Copies of this chain bind each other. A is one copy, B any other.
Amino acid sequence: MTSSAKDIEGALAPAQTVLVVSHMRPDGDALGSTLAFARHLERLGKSVHTWNEDGMPEKFRYLPGSERITPPPSEPRAFDAVVAVDTSTRDRLGSCLDAISHAPLWINIDHHISNEGYGDLNLIDPSAPAAGQILFEYFESLGVALDEIMAGNLFAAISTDTGSFQYRGTDGRTFHAAARLVEAGVNVSALSQKMYDSHPRRHWNLLRHTLNTAQFLCQDRLAVFAVSRAEMAAMGALPEDTEGLITHLRAVEGVVVAAFYEELKDGMIRISVRSKNPSVNACEICQQFGGGGHPLAAGVRLRGSLEAVMEKFNATLCHEIERGN
C-alpha cells in the first residue's frame, strides 16, 4: 500500500528532528535524493540530519549542499522520524541503522521493485526511473516551489540514475521533470560537466585496465572484468572510481550481459550485473544469491576468492543467457 505525498507530509508535520538516509555505496540518486528531501524538511523548520555509511564520496561533492552528508556518529541518536530514500531494504543502510537509537516514524521513499515496504508509510513507485523522480513529483503534487539546491540535487539524481536520460523508465514524465528543474535554476551543461566530464586521472587508468583485461565469454554474449585489491591499490583507485566502467562492456555489440567483479576490503567479492535483454533478468539472478536491484541492473556480494567467485558466477550468467535467448 503506497502512501501519497500528502499522507507523508502530514505524518512528518509534528516531527521536530528528522534523519534522512540512503543506501551504502551511494550513487547520485541516493545522495541527490537525500539532499533534496533534507532541504525540503529544513525549509519546513525542522532540525535535519543526513547520514550515509560511506559519508560523501569525493566524486559527488558537486551536489549542492553535499557537505552536510556525514557518516553516522558512533553514539546512537534518537529522531522523531527517519526518512529512507532510494533504499530497497533497511539492511542497505548499513551502519546508519546501528546509529539510530529511537525513531517512532519510518518513511520509505523508493523506486526499487524489490522494496517490500519496511516503512510506517511507504511511497514506492517502480515505474519511476529514479528516487529523484518520485521526489520531484512529491514536491510538484504539493505545490512546493523548488529552490536551486533542491532542483540541482533532483536533476543530478534523475540524470545519473537514468544514465543521462537513456535507461528504461525514462519517459515523458522524466523529461517534463528535467524541463521544470531547468526552469528552477539548473545549469545543465555546468552540472553535466561535473557529473560526467570530470574523472580523476586514476579513473582513466582504471578504464584502461578494464579494456586491457576484460574477457568475452559464452560466445561473446557475456563480457566480464575484475579488479583485485592489489590492482586497485597499484592504480591508486578508490572504490567510487569503478562506477560506470561496466557500461563500456555492456555497450559492445552482441554482449547480452556484462559483469564486474570487485574484491572488497572485507574479503567479499562485489558483483555488478548489467543485462541488455529483459529476458535475462539481472535482479532475479542476483536474488538467487541474496542480492537485488533492477531487471537490467543488479548486484550481489559473495564470499570467496576472486577466481572462484568469477568461475561460479560466470557459469550461472552464461546458463541464464542461454536460457533467455
Contact = CB atoms under 8 A, between A and B. Distances in A.
B179 A175 contact: yes
B189 A182 contact: no
Interface in A163-180: 163-172, 174-176, 178-180
Contacts of A174: 188
B167 A189 contact: yes
A250 B179 contact: no
Interface stretch (A4-12, A43-51, A190-198, A264-272): A190-198
A23 to B, nearest CB: 23
Contacts of A165: 159, 164-165, 178, 188, 192
A170 B188 contact: yes
A188 B197 CA distance: 23
Contact of A199 (B192, B198, B253): B253
A183 interface: yes
Nearest to A188: B170
A212 interface: yes
Contacts of A182: 171-172, 175
Interface stretch (A79-87, A103-111, A203-211, A305-313): A203-211
A113 B323 CA distance: 53
A315 interface: no
A127 to B, nearest CB: 13
- The residue among A192, A203, A207, A220 with the most chain B CB atoms within 10 A of its own CB is A192
A68 B211 CA distance: 36
A204 B247 CA distance: 12
Contacts of A193: 166, 276
Contact of A198 (B197, B207, B251): B251
21 contacts: A159-B165, A165-B178, A165-B188, A166-B188, A166-B193, A167-B192, A169-B189, A171-B188, A175-B175, A179-B179, A197-B250, A197-B251, A199-B252, A200-B253, A203-B252, A204-B211, A204-B251, A204-B252, A207-B211, A207-B248, A208-B212
Interface of A: 159, 163-172, 174-176, 178-180, 182-183, 188-189, 192-193, 195-201, 203-204, 207-208, 211-212, 216, 220, 247-248, 250-254, 276
